[in-house]
Structure 1
Amino acid sequence: MKIGLDVLGGDYAPDSTITGAIEAQKILQDDQRLVLFGDHDDTVERLKQAGADPDNFDFIHAPDVIGMHEHPTKAISQKPNSSIAKGFEFLKDGKIDSFSSAGNTGAMLVGSMFSVKTIPGVLRPAIATNVPKIKSGYGILLDVGANADCKPEMLNQFALLGSLYAQHVYGLNNPKVGLLNIGEEEEKGNNLTISTYPLLKENSSINFIGNTEGRDLFTDLADVYVCDGFTGNVVLKLAESFYVVTLKKGMKDDFFDRFNYERYGGSPILGVNAPVIIGHGISTPEAIKNMVLLSRDMIESNFIDIIKSAFN
């Protein structure tokens, strides 16, 4: 197993990414190898300074950086030696089994769709994220930013992608799927949710439990919450603020601690032909470590083959 990691991606890279890589490497098995994309000499030197053995890692020299505010499509094509472009080149050629980065989100989406490409049958890939439940554990929310405007058929597929992810990566048996809406009644919502509801209701591949409201998101009512990327991103950013507020208020609570993005590391792009994970731009070493471990879990679960089978 070869797990690709962009060393240059993120606001605190490469210090944060290299430290996270070192911590992840301590947990990985001998046959699970981290492949670091970045400036070779600089990465090796930083590993040595941190007391790590460079021989425990593989390196791909990719010295260029795609900045957070660069145009994704132009940057991917104009910077072939960037860490993100090289990562997708190796992922496409099967030289690594997964790729993750805390860098430019748009470039990660573009790289996914135009390099490893969307799985046949999938209309559009979706970004998924964890939402903590009050009692324990996490639910899944998608899409949280890949598709601001959606069609009902896309939300129907998101429901299946999220259900498969919850079942095979997080081990949830027959996960309950809810459509995020402004009311629980079937006729409630806008044109998108009203048109999506019957598709989900007729989808025998998922355990659809009906409409769910924002107040249900952190309960056990559902395990997977489906929405368009615009709504999902607003919800995600609001949820992320909860943890920050508790820190500023000096509050210590296990539930709110689970809003800390560091715990789950990153958000997978579901529906493409390889495990691809996007990390938070402000990822700390702990977040990077957990992003690597999530990559490992997705590879071990054979999740991509499961999606291919479901959409065949």
Structure 2
Amino acid sequence: MSKLTIALDIMGGDHGPPVILSAAVKAIELHPDVHFLLCGDQAVISPAIQNLTASQRSRVTVSHCDQVVEMGEAPTSALRNKKRSSMRRVIEYVQSNEADACVSAGNTGALLTLSFYLLKTLSGIDRPALISMMPTASHHNVFLLDLGANVNCTPEILFQYGVMGSVLAQEAAGIPSPRVALLNVGEEDIKGNAYVKLADQLFKDAPGINYIGYVEGDDIFTDKADVVVTDGFTGNVALKSSEGLAKLVINEVKRQSQKNFYTRLMAKIAFPLLKSIYNSVNPDQYNGASLIGLRGIVIKSHGNASKDAFYYAIVQAMKEAKMRVPDKIKTKIETVLLEQL
């Protein structure tokens, strides 16, 4: 795939068009193979791309949208009443194959609803899942899902999540046989609710998955597994808690390093080390949760993403488009289901 076309919802997110447009300009400057469909208010978009070179502007198409899905808007309202919104437009571009992927920092519920309605799920997949990478102690990333798409999951859906997560870990991280685990309150077989125990058995009966059993919350960051599967309620809490802790550590290091002359001196000496630690835990670089299981690529950025964070979401969209992730998931899920017959 020599040319990539990514549709961007310019109007979504807490910070609005300035952040998203800045991230798009950065991607245009750094990735000569990417083209953008910028969906939103043309009067807002046009000034932001004026400083691009003629060659760079040729890789941008502005798609004017006169409606915006608000951050607090009900998903059903977005589906019924916002048919000309920037969020819907980017998904429609993926649906029509005019875009290889789309990215939005807008209302999560609305994005899930619109994507499910327009793109539909792959055969063998009941519900899509939000999945993202998180850091571990060994500097390998772990894929955690679901991050909030479905707060109530059947054992079958948890199993499907594991299959999809395994494919993404294999393709995105180059892991030949990703270790898949179920998040639980203990590693023993007697631990967990009925749904987790039934999902555990489904994984054990599936020869095509490298299933290693249960892991606990603190194991997410120890490189014990490459893919950790849970329901959307627990996954979202785990994600937000880890991001909050990372920000707390970063801010506390900054605060302590500025207390007095000696701490400032020590911080200056230790700057390379502190910068390395900051880069490894900074949540911005892990921005961009994939809504996998659909017949197209949809990336959800944090609503409060910075320019750099949204840029990472764009990169994630480009990576998945190049790898043709939906096709790989379709092949894998069909193979696993066939083996179970």
- The TM-score by the shorter chain falls in which range? over 0.9
Identical counterparts, % of pairs? 34
Which residues in structure 2 correspond to 1:238-277 (within 5 Å)? 238-250=241-253, 252=274, 254-255=276-277, 257-277=279-299
Equivalent position to 1:132, from 107, 130, 135: 135
Contact 1:134 1:255 in 2 (8 A): no
Equivalent position to 2:212, from 204, 209, 212: 209
Cα distance in structure 1, aligned partners of 2:141 and 2:58: 36
1:128 is displaced (CA, Å) by 0.5
Cα distance in structure 2, aligned partners of 1:113 and 1:246: 37
1:189 aligns with 192
1:70 aligns with 73
1:139 is displaced (CA, Å) by 0.3
2:223 aligns with 220
How many residue pairs end up in the alignment? 311
Contact 1:243 1:257 in 2 (8 A): no
Amino acid at match of 1:129: S
Which structure has the greater CA radius of gyration? 2
2:320 aligns with 298
> In 2 relative to 1, CA 253–27 (structure 1 residues): closer, same or farther, beyond 3 Å?
closer
Which residues in structure 2 correspond to 1:168-179 (within 5 Å)? 168-179=171-182
2:45 aligns with 43
**Uncovered stretches (5+) of structure 2, i.e. residues with no partner:** 255-273, 335-341
Amino acid at match of 1:242: L
Contact 1:166 1:172 in 2 (8 A): yes
Cα distance in structure 1, aligned partners of 2:183 and 2:104: 28
Cα distance in structure 2, aligned partners of 1:253 and 1:195: 44
Equivalent position to 1:152, from 129, 151, 155: 155
Amino acid at match of 1:237: K
Q: What's the RMSD between the two structures over aligned residues?
A: 1.7
Amino acid at match of 2:84: N
1:120 is displaced (CA, Å) by 1.3
> In 2 relative to 1, CA 72–40 (structure 1 residues): closer, same or farther, beyond 3 Å?
same
**Uncovered stretches (5+) of structure 1, i.e. residues with no partner:** none
1:63 is displaced (CA, Å) by 2.9
Contact 1:151 1:192 in 2 (8 A): yes
1:233 aligns with 236
> In 2 relative to 1, CA 159–255 (structure 1 residues): closer, same or farther, beyond 3 Å?
farther
1:261 is displaced (CA, Å) by 2.8
Contact 2:250 2:278 in 1 (8 A): no
1:56 aligns with 2:78: no
Contact 1:133 1:255 in 2 (8 A): no
Contact 2:145 2:235 in 1 (8 A): yes
Cα distance in structure 2, aligned partners of 1:36 and 1:291: 15
1:51 is displaced (CA, Å) by 8.0
Q: Which one has a larger percent helix, Structure 1 or Structure 2?
A: 2
Per-residue CA deviation, residues 249-294 of structure 1 (Å, 9 max, x unaligned), is 1254745643433103310011001110000010111011111111
Equivalent position to 1:12, from 7, 10, 15: 15
Contact 2:8 2:39 in 1 (8 A): yes
Amino acid at match of 1:135: S
2:306 aligns with 284
1:307 aligns with 2:307: no
1:86 aligns with 89
Amino acid at match of 2:48: R
1:194 is displaced (CA, Å) by 1.5
1:175 is displaced (CA, Å) by 0.7
1:91 is displaced (CA, Å) by 1.5
Cα distance in structure 2, aligned partners of 1:257 and 1:28: 22
Amino acid at match of 1:47: I
Amino acid at match of 1:125: P
1:100 aligns with 103
Amino acid at match of 1:21: A
1:34 aligns with 2:15: no
Contact 2:40 2:63 in 1 (8 A): yes
1:44 is displaced (CA, Å) by 1.0
1:77 is displaced (CA, Å) by 2.2
Per-residue CA deviation, residues 30-73 of structure 1 (Å, 9 max, x unaligned), is 4x211111112320112226889533311111132111100112
What is the TM-score of this pair, normalised by structure 1? 0.95
1:204 is displaced (CA, Å) by 1.3
Report the 3-state secondary structure (helix = DSSP H, G, I; strand = E; otherwise coil) of the residue aligned with 1:217.
helix
